[in-house]
Amino acid sequence: MESRFEDFLGSGDVLPMEPKLPELSLREYRNENRIEPPQKDLRLPKQKDIVAALSEFWRESEHCDFLVRIGEYRFPCHRLVLMAYIQKVRENPDVLDLELPEDLVSPGIFVSLYRWMTDHDILIKRSEIIQLLSVATYLKIDELLHQIWTCLESDEFSEHHAYQVAAEVLCFKTLKHLHCPMLQRIQGYFLTFVSCKEFLELSLESLCFILSSNEIAVNSETEVFYAAIRWLNHNWPERLKHVAEVLEKVRLLRVPKKLVKLLESPRGEYQVDRVTQLAEVRKSLEEISFAQILMQHSDGTSLFGEIYEIFQVTVPQARKFICHDLSPYHHPDPNLPGRVFSYSEFLKYLALLQTLPPDTLPQLLRRT
Average confidence (pLDDT) over 285-297? 77
User: Could you tell me where the beta strands, DSSP code E, fall in 195-347?
Assistant: 217-218, 320-321
Taking the C-alpha atoms of residue 61 and residue 81, their distance in angstroms, rounded to an integer, is 13
Q: Which domain holds residue 236?
A: 217-360
What is the rounded distance in angstroms from the CA atom of residue 21 to the CA atom of residue 264? 125
The predicted model gives 155-168 an average pLDDT of 84
Q: Is residue 144 part of a domain?
A: no
Is residue 126 very low, low, confident or very high in pLDDT (cuts 50, 70, 90)? confident
Whether pLDDT at 269 is above 60: yes
Q: What is the pLDDT of residues 70-88, one digit of tens each?
A: 999 999 998 988 999 999 9
Residue 227 lies in a domain: yes
Range of lowest pLDDT (8-12, 18-22, 202-206, 232-236): 8-12
DSSP secondary structure letter of residue 32? T
Does residue 68 belong to any structural domain of this protein?
no
Split into its structural domains, the chain has a count of 1
Helices (H), 16-98: 26-31, 50-60, 79-85, 87-91
The residues that bridge with 97 in the sheet, in sequence order, are 67
Question: pLDDT tier at 127 (50, 70, 90 boundaries)?
Answer: confident
User: Is a pLDDT exceeding 80 seen at residue 228?
Assistant: yes
Sheet holding 73-77: strands in order across?
Answer: 73-77, 66-70, 97-100
CA distance 354 to 368: 22
Q: What is the pLDDT of residues 84-116, one digit of tens each?
A: 999 999 999 889 999 999 999 999 999 999 999
> Considering the domain boundaries, does residue 141 fall inside one?
no
Mean pLDDT (the chain) is 85
Q: Is 262:340 a contact under the CB 8 Å cutoff?
A: yes
Domain assignment of residue 139, yes or no = no
Amino acid making up residue 112: S
254 domain-assigned: yes
Nearest to 152 by CA among 143, 161, 142, 140: 161
Q: Which residues contact 145 (CB under 8 A, 6 or more apart)?
A: 133, 136, 137
Assigned domain for 168 exists: no
pLDDT confidence band for 156 (50 / 70 / 90): low
Look at residue 201 in the predicted model and tell me its pLDDT. 96
238 part of a folded domain:
yes
